[in-house]
Amino acid sequence: MRAVVQRTTEASVTVEGNIVGEIKRGLVVFLGIEEGDNESDLNYICDKVVGLRVFDDEKEIPNLSVTDINGSVLLVSQFTLCADARKGKRPSYIKAARPETANPLYEKAIAIIGESVPVQPGVFQAMMQVRLVNDGPHTILLDSRRTF
């Protein structure tokens, strides 16, 4: 499971011209679910998202989590994070989990993260437009199976 986490001052996701999720200060999380991902991968990613210390404390040191600042999370399912672009120029998405596997894990991610902070989700399998102000910029890549 992969996640791209971006610190934001505001963000929204729109589907067919309608805003379906919107937050102020917090995190935008793009979540890619791969074949073979399970509850362990999900728990790892969700724990990291709510615990990442990427917000500044009173000394302007990134030492606070989204929970500490009473922020929110905009969670967007994004199968393209599972792309393999090592061969050729066209990415392969063969490692992305099938919808019948990915959607329940995505729904569980919403619930797990929602136990700690308010969550606004995107719409699974929809064409979405995501707008965000990347604060910093501050972007973190998480992978439940790899260390970088």
**Each residue's pLDDT tens digit, 51-106:** 999 999 999 999 999 999 999 999 999 999 999 999 999 999 999 999 999 999 99
List residues with catalytic annotation. 78-80
pLDDT at 12 over 70: yes
Provide the pLDDT for residue 26.
Answer: 98
Provide the pLDDT for residue 147.
Answer: 58
Measure the CA angle with vertex 46, ends 111 and 145; round to 5°. Answer: 135
HEC profile of 35-84: CCCCHHHHHHHHHHHHHCCCEECCCCCEEECCCCCCCEEEEEECHHHHCE
User: Considering the domain 2-143, what is its CATH architecture?
Assistant: 3-Layer(bba) Sandwich (3.50)
Which pTM value belongs to this model? 0.94
Residue ranges of domains in the chain: 2-143
Tell me 114's DSSP state.
H
Provide the pLDDT for residue 37.
Answer: 96
Chain CA centroid to CA 92, Å: 21
Q: Which amino acid is at 37?
A: D
